[in-house]
Structure 1
Amino acid sequence: MKKILYLLVRLFAGFILYGLGIVVMVNAQIGLSPWDVFHQGLSIKTGITMGQASIMTGLVIVILDAILGEGVGWGTVLNMIFIGVFLDIIKAMNIVPIADNLFMGIIMMLIGIIISAIATVLYLGAGLGSGPRDGLMLAFNKKTSKPVGVIRTCIELTVLVCGWILGGSVGLGTVISAFGLGYAIQTGFKICKVDSKSIKHRVIMDDIKYIKGLIEDRKNIQPQEQCVTEECRNKN
């Protein structure tokens, strides 16, 4: 029970930090990170919030992750929902300052990248399923054996182009984030001595199989108990 509680705390700490990291980068006002360029573009085109756009995008990516063979865990589903929720909540609270000059904007962008990298290592390390976007990164990492940083950068550059076409804000901060976030995450893995390829997540199908096994074992045991009881009655 304590272990489960620890993992959930770690998971949600990662979600909150990631939501905070996004808001810090948005308020840097020197260009959004690639994924947020896409989320903002989607928000502009549809009229929904950036958090809601993040949730919708996450759902599509979860399906793609499953197709690529990356297991979907409870943490994956929670990630898909709560990062977008925390993003909207933190943004609405207005607790993160807004940069009013280029120097402050660059500092805030770097801080946002560091916060996001720490958040990623936190919730991935919980082993309850990778985030939708991280699952995509890990799936390509396992398929190609290319470094996490390279894969993350390629994915985010692709997303950036799509977001720009949709009308998302692109600037100096976008370039810093596109090339910096992947390597910040890779550095985080190294500092924490975590091998991205060795991460084993407990996926939803594991729990479904476990519950089915318990039910089947219970069905097999019950007839034997009844038989023993009947024999005891006959003997009596």
Structure 2
Amino acid sequence: MEAVTKVEETAAVDLDALLDAGEGPMVTLVAGETRLMARRAVLAARSPVFSAMFSHDTLESSSNEVTITDVEGPVLRELLAYCHTLRTPHPSSMTPQVLAAADKYDLSGLKTECEQQLASLLTVESAAATAVLAVRHTCPSLTKAAVAFIKANFQVLATQGWADAVHNQPKDVVEVCRLLGQPPIKIRYLSTGISFHALASSFRLGVSTVSVVVKDELKSLGRQVVVLCKIKAHNFS
């Protein structure tokens, strides 16, 4: 096992070195002042976006140089390292940017790994930014995790992170608020007009138990509605 690990680590180092060495058929990727060399065939194999770019008569295909917008140099390096090694970067402050880049270039494996990393690192301060990121880049599992975290920790709505999200990504915040305002499944179940007796039978619970559960859910939903109304009033004031 140790031998295999050493081989993988050596291969990773060698492949990382190739990003700068320019060996073999390469293409130059440019992000600001950062210029990195990558194997054209590997990029095309990993990313449908790069594959389409290189298989058509495009400027990038003819010049062998691709300008990467909205991506910083360190993030680009992580992206290319993954393409060559399929090793996910360790969680860091760059993980949200890596996720966004993975989404842009359709690196689904890297995107999924970044989702899992961010979900495991949710905090009161980071939840708002993570929720907005998840909504913007269509990350269902991360969106679910972030919304559930905010519902369980409504102090998120009083953080600077939430205020920044409202100011910088208002459309995405509206979607997050919509998800926060969705009633629990028990309440949605009742909205069909089903009786307590039928609901009790469906959940295999006593009628009195269902009554207590529904009342608790309604109280919780009421508190959420009050908070959301205050947020909406503040945003439009």
**TM above 0.5:** no
More strand by share: 2
More helix by share: 1
TM category (shorter chain) comes to under 0.3
TM-score (norm 1): 0.25
